[in-house]
Amino acid sequence: MAQTRTSTTFPPPVMEARRWLEGVEFPADRPLINVSQAAPVDPPPLALRQALAEFTVEQDNAHLYGPVLGNDDLRTELAAQISEHYEATVSAEQVAITSGCNQAFAAVISAITNQGAEVILPTPWYFNHKMWLDMAGVKTIDLPTGDDLLPDPDKARALITDNTRAIALVTPNNPGGVEYPSNLVRRFYDLARETGVRLLVDETYRDFDSRTAAPHDLFQQPGWEDTFVHLYSFSKAYRLTGHRVGAIATGTLLLAEIEKFLDTVAICPGQIGQFAAHWGMQNLSQWVAGERDEILDRRAAIAEGMPRLEAKGWRLLGLGAYFAYLEHPFDIPSDELARQLVIESGILLLPGTMFMPAHDTAGKRQVRIAFANLDRAGITQLFDRLQALSF
């Protein structure tokens, strides 16, 4: 069979990992600990679900097409909240709503690249970004990070060519969890502006950043919209993963190009999800603050538990938002280790090989733990099982 756009990339990693569970039985005294996916497993709060039910029953427009770039009320609310959060001025016309943040990334890439263009991704990378670049015919240029998992703008500069169209960052990072310092993000912005490429910053986990101040000052820069593209998701903050609601903030000229992509893929974002995001933004700020506090406490539990894993040779490389990124001590590659963990320890996690190019062997020593759905007791149980491992 001839090569196709989809055959140029790898299978969806989370779906591949789920297949490792087939035929495996987990005894009642050792249930499966699933730390493979960064998605809330609980539904939205009851008040939001009730509001959704009323909207679905009472409003005819809940079932109709809407504007391609999203509903005006949600765009206006998000622009206002971005402006407040980043101490800047962002207008509704500079915001678009998408069917999830993955679609936001795909739409932006489609609007700024052509066949053979290049995009720089720090590694370990978010695998869906790599998958879309593969399928779009865009060459991924990997930018290795060090032990701190922070990318170096000077090393990125050396990778920029006439074909480079963008640098894509994720902060707080997936898979590494690390929060990129404000001055580091600014250095990447300055580099992108100087060299004429776009800087994409995926801030899906912004609501769980441990910092209380604005995480960067890019929205405050004159003409930011000509260089900076902000990506966001409502899925994590309001538990709306199944409703697929994301967003883009950038210049209106680029949004006009993005609109072409969105119109041909989904026509418009779903009305029910948009209503949920808007209602959540207007009514759930205190609830989201509580969710953030809980995630930060679980992050603290990971840090507190690490010494006993470090005594066994593990190393914590990154921690934050939903993720802990670790180096394992065993003399087997992480993709093999991950499969054995399902059978021998009842743990489902993702190996670092899923976040690295094949030529980078560092991924064979690394694993990602998505801890957001584990409370402190669950984290203790996870660490008990990891501590007991011997290969």
Residues 100 and 238 in one domain: yes
- Binning pLDDT at 50, 70 and 90, where does residue 140 land? very high
**Stronger pLDDT, 3 or 186, i.e. the higher one:** 186
User: Two tokens at 319?
Assistant: 């921690």
| Residue 190 included in any domain | yes
Integer Rg of the chain from CA? 21
Which pLDDT score is estimated for 38? 82
| Spatial separation of the C-alpha atoms in residues 116 and 54, rounded to whole Å | 48
Residues 231 and 306 in one domain: no
Cis before 124? omega within 30: yes
| Spatial separation of the C-alpha atoms in residues 235 and 257, rounded to whole Å | 25
| Spatial separation of the C-alpha atoms in residues 85 and 289, rounded to whole Å | 14
Listed residues 258, 284, 310: the one ending a domain: 284
| Spatial separation of the C-alpha atoms in residues 87 and 83, rounded to whole Å | 6
Given a cut of 90, whether residue 314 has pLDDT beyond it is: yes
Give the CATH number of the domain where residue 152 resides: 3.40.640.10
User: Two tokens at 5?
Assistant: 């756009």
Given a cut of 80, whether residue 99 has pLDDT beyond it is: yes
101-112 vs 252-265: helix crossing angle, rounded to 10: 110
Q: To the nearest whole number, what is the mean pLDDT of the chain? A: 96
Average pLDDT, integer, range 74-94:
97
Which pLDDT score is estimated for 390? 83
Can you give the residue range of the structural domain that contains 92?
Answer: 64-284
Which pLDDT score is estimated for 329? 96
Listed residues 284, 317, 352: the one ending a domain: 284
Given a cut of 70, whether residue 185 has pLDDT beyond it is: yes
Listed residues 224, 253, 284: the one ending a domain: 284
Which pLDDT score is estimated for 379? 96
Given a cut of 90, whether residue 151 has pLDDT beyond it is: yes
φ/ψ (deg, to 5) at 332? -140, 150
Average pLDDT, integer, range 359-383:
96
Which pLDDT score is estimated for 287? 96
Residue 280: count of CB within 10 angstroms of its CB:
24
227-251 pLDDT, tens per residue?
Answer: 999 999 999 999 999 999 999 999 9
Average pLDDT, integer, range 117-134:
97
Which pLDDT score is estimated for 266? 95
Percent of the chain with pLDDT over 90: 94
Residues 218 and 151 in one domain: yes
